[in-house]
Amino acid sequence: MNASAERSDIKNPKTGMTHAEMKQFIRNHFEEFVNRKNLKIVEVNLAPGFVDHGADVPPGTPPGLAGAIQYVGNVLKKVPDLHVEIEDMIAEDDKVVVRNRWTGTDAASKQPFEFSGIVIWRIASRQIVERWAYLEKPHPIRS
């Protein structure tokens, strides 16, 4: 067995999870929070002191869990069919990096759009404690 495979089976003392468990946790978070529109999942998945450093977070968004719920809740009102697809995931130390593709339809204009991004999540004690996101500007879906 190579060193990388061996290391993936070891629980990280910072996160309480293996790298495989960390990736599955983040995959499940995206699925519940965005694709299933379960805003209350943040009360389970995000730590009480959660900090969002995302470049996509609108100014004036409250910090912590309330801010995450407000931000995504407002987006889902404008784009009720918002869907995220994970294209790549990398876990290292206490972080998971995700490259993803988002699609949806603007409720007002009825125009479909897409955008891609990179999101970095930091996990501690089996909860998300920090997020960094860099998302491109939404644009019409390319064929």
Q: What CATH number is given to the structural domain containing 19?
A: 3.10.450.50
Q: Of 92, 90, 102, 107, nearest to 134 (Cα)?
A: 102
Phi, psi of 44 (to 5 degrees): -100, -45
Q: What angle do CA 66, 48, 84 make, to 5 degrees?
A: 60
Amino acid at 115: F
Q: What angle do CA 21, 40, 57 make, to 5 degrees?
A: 85
- Quote the number of domains for the chain: 1
pLDDT (0 to 100) of residue 61: 96
- Digit-by-digit pLDDT tens for the chain (143 residues) are 444 444 568 999 999 999 999 999 999 999 999 999 999 999 999 999 999 999 999 999 999 999 999 999 999 999 999 999 999 999 999 999 999 999 999 999 999 999 999 999 999 999 999 999 999 999 999 87
